Amino acid sequence: MRTSATPTPRTLLRPNAPGGLRPPDVSTAPSGSNAADGPTDVDPPADVEALMARLDTISIAHPSAVRVLMLVDDPNVTIHKVGEAIETDPAFTAQIMRLANSAYYGLSGRVGNINFAVTIIGFAAVRSLAAMAAAGVTASGVKTPAEFWAHAASTAAGASAVASRFGIPTADCFAAGLLHDVGMVFLQQIDPDRHNALLVEHGSHGAGLVEAERRVFGMSHAEAAAHVLRNWKFPQRFVDAVAGHHDPEADPFAQAVAVGEALAIAGVGDDPVAEAVLERSGIEGEDRATLIEYTVQRAREVLASLPH
């Protein structure tokens, strides 16, 4: 475990600034802080600029998924063109077809071709699934345990359940909920040992995880995701929603994702952070119980169609 007598000022990236992530004017560790504040046996963080450069060249697991990302960014693209691009990857095609035929959309067994499937789930969900495919979120990867997909499905279901309360389209909340933690995959690609050390100490959704990631990597998983998603030409509102889902002062879209995640966590067990998010949003009593039950049920329907 390394310590230093004098804490080194660190530049952290902040979401929701004009133009995206930016370094604040000054960010300094409290006087007298040391490695005991964070996980043991973890090296000091790399330079933020160097980390961003590595994120810029992150390996692409499915090049066809990047082609899909480029297509859905084109306002004039047709569903047929997107369907053709998806069909070049059999595994990705199967995933889209399974989701469109899931109980979540109420058309089980009735979606027989990729164009209809894309119409049913919408470009927002296609974009999110393509990003996770490009990142290497697959059933066989060490970076993607069953818990990752279960949490993604639950957050998507929870966020879509509260979408109207925040004035956000349901499909957008579902898509952002699926994608919200993909930054963990990116940090795992950069340095799996260091990120695993944080997960062991703080849990994948622990209260201290975000600050620990910033201390060790210079940015959180949410901020890392925002950086990559911006490079992949995601709409800015999605970038901001993912970047800000741990920020209580973020915009309504990010808050909807945060509440969706809180409902997902509450469906598994008691958690003080989830409790605080739900209280802040005014979701209490019978309303909360109903939303949690709905989230759990809908998440099962979504998860049945995802790789896990």
CA distance 196 to 40: 12
Q: Is the pLDDT of residue 240 over 50?
A: yes
What phi-psi label fits residue 37: left (phi over 0), alpha (psi between -120 and 50 degrees) or beta? alpha
Specify the amino acid at residue 197: A
DSSP E strand stretches across the chain:
14-17, 20-22
Look at 21-25, 109-113, 245-249 and tell me which has the smallest mean pLDDT. 21-25
- The structure tokens 């999110």 sit at 128
Contacts of 109 (CB under 8 A, 6+ apart): 101
Report, as an integer, the average pLDDT of 39-64: 72
As a whole number of angstroms, the longest Cα–Cα distance in the chain is 65
User: How many whole angstroms separate alpha carbon 47 and alpha carbon 56?
Assistant: 14
- Count CB-CB contacts under 10 A for residue 45: 22
> Could you tell me the pTM of the whole model?
0.79
Residue pair 206/220 in contact by the 8 Å Cβ criterion: no
Which amino acid, one-letter code, is at 179? L
pLDDT in tens, 197-233: 998 888 877 668 999 999 999 999 999 999 999 999 8
Mean pLDDT of the chain: 82
pLDDT 10s digits, 88-144: 999 899 999 999 999 999 998 899 999 999 999 999 999 999 998 888 875 434 345
Which domains, and CATH codes, for the chain? 58-303 (1.10.3210.10)
Q: Give the pLDDT score at 308.
A: 61
pLDDT at 39 over 60: no
Q: Which band of pLDDT confidence, cut at 50, 70 and 90, is reported for residue 145? A: low
Dist CA 244 CA 89 (whole Å): 32
